[in-house]
Structure 1
Amino acid sequence: MSETSHPLPQVVSRRRYERALIAREEAERLLEAKSRELYEANQGLLKSKSWLEKAVQERTVELEAARIAAESANAAKSVFLASMSHEIRTPLNGILGMALALSENGLTDEQNAIVDVIRDSGSLLLSVINDILDLSKIEAGKLECEHIPCGLGQLLGSIEKQYQLGAQEKGLEFRVSIFEGAGIWVKTDATRLRQVIGNLLSNAIKFTDKGSVAMFADIVPLDAGWSKLTITVTDTGPGIPKDQHSRLFKPFSQANSGITRNFGGTGLGLVISRRICQEMGGTLTLKSDAGQGAEFVASIMVEPCDSEEMIGEDLEHSEAVLTGAQWRILAAEDNRTNRLVLHHMLKRFGMQLEMSENGEQLISRWRAEPWDLILMDVNMPVMDGLRATQIIRDHEHEEGLEPIPIIAVSANAMSHQVNGYLAHGITDHVAKPLRRAELVRAMATALTSRSVD
């Protein structure tokens, strides 16, 4: 075969080469185009990143400024509430304290009736102040509930007696049904529980003009040693339309504007009561409609316990502690009226009570002779109660002495204030206006703890 008989393979190889070359050039053009697209996209992303970082920084600055402004406003509100609480509680302590002193001095029936009006009006004002303080705790997320033993039957029985007279004065039938075995003891916050039931009963009596008010109590054992306590309060009052139910559980809101005008009140009672129930593991619900009366059901979680766990909380026991020895009590109080209130509240116990007008005078008397307990006002001229407490605690530490109980007796009653007092060495706190039962319990507990130690 001749050499000219093989041209086809060479032609095929050249064409294949040309096609490969064209494909490579096309791939390079596509790669370059894609690289350019990627570069441009990356530049766009970098610009977006820069813009987002700047926007985030600006928004962060705005949020920080808003946070600072909100905290400043909240702090200002807390300062205002604390100031108003103190300024109102201080004269109210004198009003209620002197009314109590008058009632114990053999008045005529007419005079007793006048004193009762003073005490009732003062107590109403105090309840308004306490509601506002409770709301401020709720808004700050600082509503706290104790978990201490109390006699449930005794508590419910005392609540029944407290509201029975008010119902009878309006000509209402007042029925109370308590579960079998109600004499059990449980760990709960008796004060908060009384507050919830009191709100429900006082509302039922206030808004019911004829018919009846009833309270039913029941308890159901649950797992892990807990029980569910349910309190149901019903009335035959005008009822509440269903479209107004939600308003009852909003702060400063009532079913209609005429309620405040006709009956008074802040519109906070049910709001606070529901939050208390929630804090104690339960809830507060309402069943009612116009013209059908109302049924409120409050539930909380309680822990059954032995009565022996309750030490020093009974008022009779506390009073026995105060009368059981010749206690030497030193008090600091700059307000003359409040010194009179302390004197009249404690004179029945036969203790030696010495008064000082400020912290400096108290320190001088404390150094001169031994004392069993100190009642310390906080806001005083010359030397305030916290400074006086610090001097006492420093001296006790240096000399290795047993700390003397110091109970703050102050119109400052907000939780952050009380916590601050305890952090400064105060043993306990009793808020003004003083209730003798609360003061006696606090003093007895402090004196008992010291004698046991």
Structure 2
Amino acid sequence: MDSHVALIRQALATLDAQELARLLEPHLAALAELEAEAGQLRSANALLRKENRQQRGNAGTWRDQHTARLAGLQRELHADLQVQLRAPSADQAARDQQELTEQILDQLPIPIFLKDRDGRFLRFNSRFEEFTQRSRAEILGRTIDDFASPRWAAATHVEDEQAWSTGRMVTTERRMATFDPPLDVLVSRKVINSGGLSYMLGYFIDISEQRAARAAMQHAVESAEAASRAKSEFLANMSHEIRTPMNGILGMTELVLESDIDAHQRADLTLVKASADALLQIVDDILDFSKIEAGKLDIEEVPFDLRQLVSDTLRAMSLRARQKGLALASEIPANVPRIMKGDPGRLRQVLLNLVGNAIKFTGAGSVTVQLSIGAEHDGRSEIEFAVRDTGIGVPEEKQHLIFEAFAQVDGSTTRQYGGTGLGLAICRRLVILMQGRIEVHSAPGQGSVFSFTVPLQHTGVAQAAPLPPLAVLTPGQGMNLSANDGGLIVGEGDLPPPSADPQAAPARGGLRVLLAEDNPVNQRLAVRLLEKLGHRVTLVDSGLAVLERAARGAHDVILMDVQMPGLDGLAATRQIRQRESMQGGHVPIIAMTARAMAGDRERCLEAGMDDYLAKPVDSQQLRDMLLRYQPDSGHQLLDWRGALQRLDGDAELLLELAALFLHDGPQLWQELGEALAAGDQPRSTRAVHSLKGVLVNFGAARAVALAEQLSAALHAGQPWQLAAGRLEPALQQVYEALKELIAGGIDAPPPS
């Protein structure tokens, strides 16, 4: 019996005293009664032995009954004790598990909460208390309305209801303004189920650092954009400030070179012009690189003559080659197609840069342009242009650098050759824009081969006729610029004397030109050029003076500088166009400006100008531009002579190109219409750019001007319907003119 009591007391020592005392009190009372009864039994035991042995059996039975009763009570008490002892052990395990869960939640770095369907907070960790800035007593069993601001509580109810109704996780961004500094958090919540009941589990994530980083990134982007705008503005101003005096230098030099001067004076002025051209090339390189970096260059696909492209390039570089005594040649195999579709302007720019570099780095020998045809796929041929020279070469360890911007093979202060380091970088990026590749093979002292390959589309025009073998001229043989043989060869010798240019004859009838120019040198140059071309000039030096003179309506065309004091050329043009919209009439306005940055042309056209000339302007450019606005030829649909000149008088080729455009033009217009209707600005811009490039080949001045107006409207994000509506009938007129050309032959009078 003592052992049972000891067992009970040992159990009591390990369990909650009050709870176990309450549970075991009845059993302990019964046990005390049994202990008292057992004492009485021991006292009476001696008396019982003296009783009649006849009654032993009965006494034994009585004792056995009491013993059995005592044993039964002991067994019952033991069983109850085991039940009671087991019950507190399960509760303790549950409490241990809950304590462990609480400790884990409190160690988590994010606030976590659990709510019931009525929004009462059932569980949460210490981080949640920190975020809400409330104690456990203020949160437990309460709802968000009991301790949060009305605005926060209202937002919480909306998000909770969204999570309860959809069953999906709901995440929102919140700002906790009660902190200093305020905290930005993501609050996520999702409905979970357990034991047949539904709860809402939620947590907070501090995103203050991420939002600060995002704000810093946005600030950096805005700063970069501002820096880019500042750079563009600087380059525009630099271009204007350089081109303005360069316009005077080059223009006056050309005028003097065309006068009666001796050989020494001509040689000196030729060097002056070459130096001015070199300076202008540096400016153009910087501007071109800026345009490429800004992503403001479009690639067009128009038919062009590959052989003519190479010939024009070498003609442009012939003077530099002659000055160094270099042979300049081209090699074009007969299997290379003559007419292809691509971007001739960009191809010519790359070729000019590579040929110019080859001439610069070659002291003696030759520079040769070679064409070859490569793989064909999807109706395109890979055409490789290779420029081979006998110059100084490029070390192998430097070859990977030369296509990077501002890189120089020799960047020291003692380097022999100058340059900006942008030419090859521009070439590389232009070739990539045309879906091509560029590379170099070179060794010091053994010359270099710069080659680039671009995929050009077939047009169906016949292959070039077989070409005679190329004969390389020796120094002193003079210059052969014939476009009928296999290549252009430039040898050493004196420059030929200037000959009378039939195209430089005074314009028939002349134009009444209103010239707006504020720079004295450019005023004198422009007046001299215009008068030489047979035009009558009225000179003004401000935008306000332009408005006053234009109001009199006595001029055929206005040449408008953009940057002028008081009222600039763009504002003056807008006011003229506004006045014309109310009073009727339309005077052609041509921008003649030193602003030649990306977008400057579009801004001029957007303002209402009809055309654009970038300074420095030479007499040929000015003459060609003004021919479009001659009273007796301003309505001419096509410029046959100009088209033939661009093809070296190849009438058959011009007819083939005309037939090609009659087939491709309507398809291109349909593509443009679909892009415009779909609101696809990039596709629309590419289509009108390609269309304009084809029209230029035929000298279709009116259609070109309308295409430029449509392009300007697209770039400016303005309504395009009016410009497109004007362009469509102009295209129909071009188609009719081309049909007349094909039917009547090249000698037929030009349609009007």
> Which secondary structure does the structure 2 equivalent of 1:209 belong to?
coil
| Counterparts of residues 294-313 of structure 1 (less than 5 Å) | 294-305=448-459
Against the structure 1 CA distance between its residues 392 and 169, is the aligned structure 2 distance closer, same or farther, given a 3 Å change threshold? Answer: closer
**For 1:84-233, what aligned pairs fall within 5 Å after superposition?**
84-164=238-318, 166-167=320-321, 169-180=323-334, 184-220=338-374, 222-233=376-387
1:403-442 equivalences in 2 (<5 Å)? 403-442=586-625
Question: SS at 1:240's partner residue?
Answer: coil
CA distance in 2, matches of 1:368, 1:191: 40
TM-aligned CA distance change 1:272 to 1:260, over 3 Å: farther
Q: Which moved more, 1:165-174 or 1:373-382?
A: 165-174
Q: Which residue in 2 is equivalent to 1:358?
A: 542
Distance 1:339 1:168, change over 3 A: closer
| C-alpha spacing 1:370/1:226, structure 2 compared with 1 (3 Å) | farther
Alignment of 1:274-289 (within 5 A): 274-289=428-443
Distance 2:620 2:529 in 1: 10
How far 1:285 sits from its partner (Å)?
1.0
- The amino acid across from 1:354 in the alignment is T
Does structure 2 conserve the Cα–Cα contact (< 8 Å) formed by 1:321 and 1:444? no
C-alpha spacing 1:409/1:168, structure 2 compared with 1 (3 Å): closer
376-385 vs 267-276, which moves further: 376-385
Query: Number of aligned pairs?
Result: 441
- 2:335–2:373 Cα contact (<8 Å) kept: no
With normalisation by structure 1, the TM-score equals 0.84
Distance 1:74 1:375 in 2: 31
1:449 to 699, 702, 714: 702
Whole-Å separation in 2 of the counterparts to 1:19 and 1:28: 14
Aligned residue number for residue 97 of structure 2 = 30
Larger Rg: 2
| Post-superposition offset of 1:436 | 3.5
Deviation at 1:229, TM superposition (A): 2.9
2: distance between equivalents of 1:188 and 1:345?
A: 35
Give the aligned residue type for 1:360: L
Evaluate the alpha carbon distance shift between residue 16 and residue 321 of structure 1 in structure 2; reply closer, same or farther with a 3 A threshold.
Answer: farther
Distance in 2 between residues matched to 1:352 and 1:145, nearest whole Å: 39
Q: Which residue of 2 aligns with 1:311?
A: none
Structure 1 residues 78, 332: closer, same or farther in 2, change over 3 A? same
Higher relative contact order (CA 8 A, sep 6+): 1
Distance 1:186 1:340 in 2: 43
Deviation at 1:177, TM superposition (A): 0.7
The alpha-carbon distance between structure 1 residues 321 and 102, as it changes in their structure 2 partners (threshold 3 A), is closer
Q: After TM superposition, give the deviation of residue 14 of structure 1 in Å.
A: 5.3
Instruction: Report the more deviating stretch, 365-374 or 272-281.
Output: 365-374
Q: Which amino acid is the alignment partner of residue 426 of structure 2?
A: I
Quote the offset at 1:232 in angstroms: 0.5
SS in 2 for 1:247: coil
SS in 1 for 2:369: strand
SS of equivalent residue, structure 1 residue 426: coil
Aligned residue number for residue 392 of structure 1: 576
- How far has the Cα of 1:29 moved from its partner? 2.4
Q: Is the Cα contact below 8 Å between 2:504 and 2:620 reproduced in 1?
A: no
- Give the deviation of 1:112 after TM superposition: 1.8
Which moved further from structure 2: 407-416 or 76-85?
76-85
For 2:517, the equivalent position in structure 1 comes to: 333
Relative to structure 1, is the Cα distance of residues 321 and 103 closer, same or farther in structure 2, using a 3 angstrom cutoff?
Answer: closer
Q: CA deviation at 1:183?
A: 7.1
The answer to whether the Cα contact below 8 Å between 1:185 and 1:304 also exists between their aligned partners in 2 is yes
| Correspondence for 1:271 among 422, 425, 428 | 425
**CA shift digits 1:57-103 (9 cap, x unpaired):** 43344334434443343333323222221111111100000111112
Pick which of 15-24 and 438-447 moved more.
438-447
Change beyond 3 A, Cα 1:432–1:163: closer
The TM-score, its normalising length taken from structure 2, stands at: 0.53
3-state SS of the aligned residue for 1:217?
Answer: strand
Whether the 8 Å CA contact 2:508–2:534 is kept in 1: the answer is no
Aligned pair in 2 of structure 1 residues 270, 58: CA closer, same or farther (>3 Å)?
same
Aligned counterpart, 1:21:
88
CA contact (8 A) 1:188 1:302 kept: yes
Alpha-carbon distance in 1 for matches of 2:339, 2:414: 38
C-alpha deviation, 1:243, in angstroms: 0.9
Residue 374 (1) aligns with residue 441 (2): no
Q: Which moved more, 1:40-49 or 1:356-365?
A: 40-49
Q: Contact 1:332–1:355 (CA<8 Å) still a contact in 2?
A: yes
**Residue type of the alignment partner of 1:391:** Q
Answer 1 or 2: which has greater helix percent.
Answer: 1
Superposed CA offset, 1:305-346 (max 9, x none): 589xxxxxxxxxxx6999466443332112232133223434
CA RMSD of aligned residues (A): 3.4
Instruction: After TM superposition, give the deviation of residue 377 of structure 1 in Å.
Output: 0.5
Pair 1:75 & 2:229 matched: yes
Q: Do the aligned partners of 1:200 and 1:233 also contact (CA within 8 Å) in 2?
A: yes
Cα distance between partner residues in 1 of 2:613 and 2:592: 5
C-alpha contact (below 8 Å) 1:134/1:272 kept by paired residues: yes
Instruction: Tell whether the 8 Å contact from 2:505 to 2:533 is kept in structure 1 after alignment.
Output: no
Cα deviation, residue 223, structure 1: 4.0
